[in-house]
Structure 1
Amino acid sequence: MTVDTPTLPAAGIASPLVTITGMIKDFPGNRALDDVSLEVGSGEIVAVVGHNGSGKSTLVKILAGVYTSDGGEVELASQGGFDTELHIIHQDLGLANELTAVENLGITHYQGAASFAPFRRKAERAKARALIGRFGEPFDVEVPISRLAPAQRSIIGIARALDGWQHPRNVLILDEPTEALHATEVRILFDAVKKLAADGAGVIFISHRLDEVLDLADRVVVLRDGRKVADEPRAGLDHDRLVSYVTGIPVGEAEHGENARVHGDTVLEVTGLSGAILEGVDLRVAAGEVVGVAGVLGSGREALPAMIFGSIDAEVDGFTLAGKPYLKRSPGESIRRGVAFVPGDRAKLGSVRPMTARENVTLPELRSLTNRLGAISTSREKAHAAGLVKAYDVKPPRAEQVFQQFSGGNQQKIVFAKWLRNDPKLLLLEEPTQGVDIGAKQAIYDAIDGAAAGGAAVLVCSSEAKELVRLCDRVLVLRDGRIAAELAGDELTETRLVMEGYGLKNEDHP
């Protein structure tokens, strides 16, 4: 990517573009940021990592002007007649789903008197295609973006933030930008970010994906419980040391041994499952067993749990649940039969965002919370929800807080609590730790282990090989809609999962 205006001489990272000093932010009963200081130089990529709730998002919102700080200051550089600007890409991208890519990319320019000028449709289309083309192959820029894939929507948000820079010495803040991107798109984004830094920009990269942090950043800042606990050059860090900073626990102490699960009777048995891309998939999961499903994007992995749950239509030759036929499936009937489904998109499919944690966590099953007249007992519901919020270590532990105000990891804990409170026979999981930090991820792993120990059959569909190896007794690998391999025991390794997913033989992948 190039900046159309003349490039200023590179100043190097010794020239700070933004300096944050002694930042403090208080919420009732909680200090979200406690004396946090950092700076970002010209040409430098600084990663900020930490648990959900560590203060990362609060820091970004202060820089964006969403929150007002309770102490500290932010100083922006002014060099050579150019004032540094902050350009922020938030997790939700800030896009209007009913508008097209052309309209979203141009929306910040259509203000004031200029908005009465004729709209140059052809020129704007060409500009949109050029902006998007920086990140790979262009796509249709004239359909509502609600019809685009998550990765395509992310690219629109990134392109809009970079459009119209008057000089290269600005600061780009990326708040979890790779959440909806697959590996190829992540690489394209990283190449573009590195080029921006090489032109003199500063970059703040907020992420919970530590491998990406170690790949991209020049320097890493770690927040924990609102305080800065580390600020080190990338060259001095490895994965284990970074994990220890984030968690506050030495890696060896956070590790778990191999699962020694006892399996019971078969809970789920499916033969000849077909639909979307899937063709004749057979699988079974026993009580107390955790079975994984791996596969690259487009393998059919993403659709499988929804097909079993009944929210996506599918055909089957045979389908039994707890020994009873279940050919015509629906979400409501699945819930009644003891099936729980945690979808990958918790905001759209796994929750009601404007509702409170209490309302979300009790929603699937309210009969146990009704009184003799059949009305919901508010006191019983509140007590039950408060117990679940505490049991799942949701932070802040406020059952009456609106769901969308919690961090990603705490939202996922609420979604898990919602389903596990009913002791499901079958637990279907799609990307169970997507968008959560290390601490929340471990809490979710513990919840999955606990569900299996309690006798639930668990099916985990995940794009993370490391996660599948950690959680599962065995893993089915999908390729082109069919099961290409089944791995267990010593064969269940990250390398084998990747090789099987891409159809590689041993000689292709040393």
Structure 2
Amino acid sequence: MTGTAAPLLRIRDMSKTFPGLKALDGVSLEVHPGEVVAVLGHNGSGKSTLVKILAGVHQADPGAVVEVRDATGEPVAGPAAREGLHFIHQDLGLADILTTVENLGLGATRRGRALAPVRGAAERRRAQRLIARFGAGLDVTVPVGRLSPAQRTIVAIARALDGWTRPDNVLVLDEPTAALHGDEVQVLFEAIRRVAASGAGVVFISHRLDEVLELADRVVVLRDGRVVAEQATGELDHDTMVTLIAGRRISDGATADPAATRRDAPGAPVLTVTGVSGAEISDFSLQLRAGEIVGIGGILGSGREQLAPMLFGAQHRSGGRVEVDGRELVADDTRAAIESGMAYVPADRRRRGVVMDMSVRENLTLPLMRPLRRRFGRLDGKAERAQTRSWMRTVGLRPPHPEQPLKLFSGGNQQKVVLAKWLRVRPRVLLLDEPTQGVDVGAQAAIYELVLAARRDGTGVLLCSSDTKELVSLCDRVLVLKDGRVVSEVPRAALTEERLVRDELGLQVAGGHIGTNGPE
């Protein structure tokens, strides 16, 4: 009945104006029973604003109409209308200080249970069963703030679907796969398909266009707050969607070839890691040269997520040596790492990469204030503003408002600021952890260009990513981790997505079993 039954969700003429910004401009769309509708667009196109209005976080401008209907086509009014919409937000909406058990209990409270602490073995077993539906094994009794991004996403998904028995509902997912690996994505997709097959409607927001082609029935494209295209997925391919999103045919950063952009061979070693251990990492060693991009691949739990923060001192290192330009760094000391010339772009930019309530200017200049100081420590405001404007032009920040709080920018523009603030200090070593997670294809291409430019300037780049296409696109070589150890080193000449996936999963390939005999 997709597309023919009365819509479960109908939006008409939805607009939203923030100070100095028209985030949505007359948006209209429908979601029918059994249908998965993908909403696409650049970061800043209005996708997240649309979701937040539906969730009641923001209020639409006057004139907008939002109708929620049941499976018979009858409008649902009052609190029941809001109960018919279920959300997984980009920021997940989890309470970091609470455990998985307690976060799931908050969801149960909203369904009518008494407001009381969640305790007991029964609740723990229930939480473990819910999480196990998504193929995840995690400790449900630790605060979710200590979980990896992928594990946090799975908790949010479990909470959204917990106890959902009505078919005439709409599930809205805002970038649910941003931190998930291939197998985890497929588990989520199966859950979404089951939800749609029951007669529910699904709104799916993702920057991963291949996922959209696989999952969605219909695509709605937003650009600058307006709907610019609406087509059945079967009528589209990857390149067409990129063109619709960008408004023009752009060079996809995912096809960049580092060999074509290299002018010189890598230089002297800038980062030497010897026998580093801690958390899920065991006896990791690496030599990174100036002007080289080395990738770190591996599935969830391989140790890939812990490596960059451990080298930077943001996570405990129990053993081994880390040296920058021959200078050994004290373990667990981020200040020493920064002073040595190391910079770190974390996977979770909102919680660890920037200060969201500060302006673009304040975030950009925060890591290095000394050159902006006059005599007696006074800040040279004119010089600070000039540098801010220069870096906004360099990274293509939109809108170019230096005094606007970073929290009002899209995810892609936030990530540009995180990268720019570290590139401004001209680091010797740049640690990147999932640098394009949750950004659109346009922002991705811009970030790739910035990374390649840093490489050309002589920075050594360590790129930790779950995106095999990204690793193949950017890296001179890739080290694959499994169970905390390097199981293969893939040179540029042999670097393909298929090879990386096989190495990460330990599959059989010609010549033997990957992942058992150590680095090649």
* 1:377–1:175 CA distance, 2 compared to 1 (3 A): same
Structure 1 distance, partners of 2:123, 2:210, is 37
Structure 2 distance, partners of 1:116, 1:48, is 35
Q: 1:14 aligns with which of 1, 4, 9?
A: 4
Structure 2 distance, partners of 1:268, 1:112, is 52
Aligned pair 1:293/2:296, yes or no? yes
Q: Deviations over 1:433-477 (max 9, x none)?
A: 112111111111111111111121111111111111111122222
Contact kept, 8 Å, 1:289 with 1:458, in 2: the verdict is: yes
Q: 2:477 aligns with which of 465, 474, 478?
A: 474
Structure 2 distance, partners of 1:117, 1:469, is 50
* 1:144–1:79 CA distance, 2 compared to 1 (3 A): same
Structure 1 distance, partners of 2:241, 2:149, is 29
Shift of residue 137 of structure 1?
5.7
Q: What are structure 1's unaligned runs of at least 5 residues?
A: 1-10
Q: Deviations over 1:283-311 (max 9, x none)?
A: 22222222222222232222222233233
Q: Mapping of 1:58-73 within 5 angstroms?
A: 58-70=49-61, 71-73=63-65
Which secondary structure state, in structure 2, belongs to the residue aligned with residue 303 of structure 1? helix
Q: 2:507 aligns with which of 491, 504, 507?
A: 504
* Deviating more after overlay: 421-430 vs 112-121: 112-121
Q: Deviations over 1:21-45 (max 9, x none)?
A: 2322233333222232211111000
* 1:377–1:47 CA distance, 2 compared to 1 (3 A): same
Aligned pair 1:357/2:354, yes or no? no
Shift of residue 353 of structure 1?
2.5
* 1:160–1:266 CA distance, 2 compared to 1 (3 A): closer
Match of 1:4 in 2: none
Which secondary structure state, in structure 1, belongs to the residue aligned with residue 446 of structure 2? helix
Match of 1:203 in 2: 202
Match of 1:236 in 2: 235
Contact kept, 8 Å, 2:327 with 2:340, in 1: the verdict is: no
Structure 2 distance, partners of 1:269, 1:56, is 42
Contact kept, 8 Å, 2:341 with 2:427, in 1: the verdict is: yes
Shift of residue 487 of structure 1?
2.2
* 1:65–1:302 CA distance, 2 compared to 1 (3 A): closer
Q: What are structure 2's unaligned runs of at least 5 residues?
A: 514-520
* 1:126–1:320 CA distance, 2 compared to 1 (3 A): closer
Match of 2:391 in 1: 388
Aligned residue pairs: how many? Answer: 498
Structure 1 distance, partners of 2:168, 2:413, is 36
Structure 1 distance, partners of 2:501, 2:397, is 33
Q: Which amino acid aligns with 1:480?
A: D
Contact kept, 8 Å, 1:344 with 1:434, in 2: the verdict is: yes
Q: 2:42 aligns with which of 51, 62, 65?
A: 51
CA-based RMSD: 2.9
Contact kept, 8 Å, 1:100 with 1:141, in 2: the verdict is: yes
| TM-score (ref. length: structure 1) | 0.88
Q: Which amino acid aligns with 2:51?
A: V
Which secondary structure state, in structure 1, belongs to the residue aligned with residue 402 of structure 2? coil
Q: Mapping of 1:438-449 within 5 angstroms?
A: 438-449=441-452
Structure 2 distance, partners of 1:287, 1:111, is 54
Shift of residue 97 of structure 1?
2.5
| TM-score (ref. length: structure 2) | 0.87
Match of 2:276 in 1: 273
Structure 2 distance, partners of 1:481, 1:124, is 32
Shift of residue 135 of structure 1?
3.1
Structure 2 distance, partners of 1:113, 1:318, is 54
Shift of residue 55 of structure 1?
1.0
The percentage of aligned residue pairs carrying the same residue is 52
Which secondary structure state, in structure 1, belongs to the residue aligned with residue 375 of structure 2? coil
Match of 1:75 in 2: 67
Contact kept, 8 Å, 1:270 with 1:316, in 2: the verdict is: no
Shift of residue 271 of structure 1?
3.0
Match of 2:261 in 1: 259
Which secondary structure state, in structure 1, belongs to the residue aligned with residue 291 of structure 2? coil
Structure 2 distance, partners of 1:271, 1:116, is 51
Structure 2 distance, partners of 1:86, 1:431, is 30
Shift of residue 127 of structure 1?
5.2
Q: Which amino acid aligns with 1:76?
A: V
Contact kept, 8 Å, 2:294 with 2:477, in 1: the verdict is: yes
Contact kept, 8 Å, 2:222 with 2:229, in 1: the verdict is: yes
Structure 2 distance, partners of 1:496, 1:131, is 33
Contact kept, 8 Å, 1:49 with 1:207, in 2: the verdict is: yes
Match of 2:427 in 1: 424
Aligned pair 1:372/2:370, yes or no? no
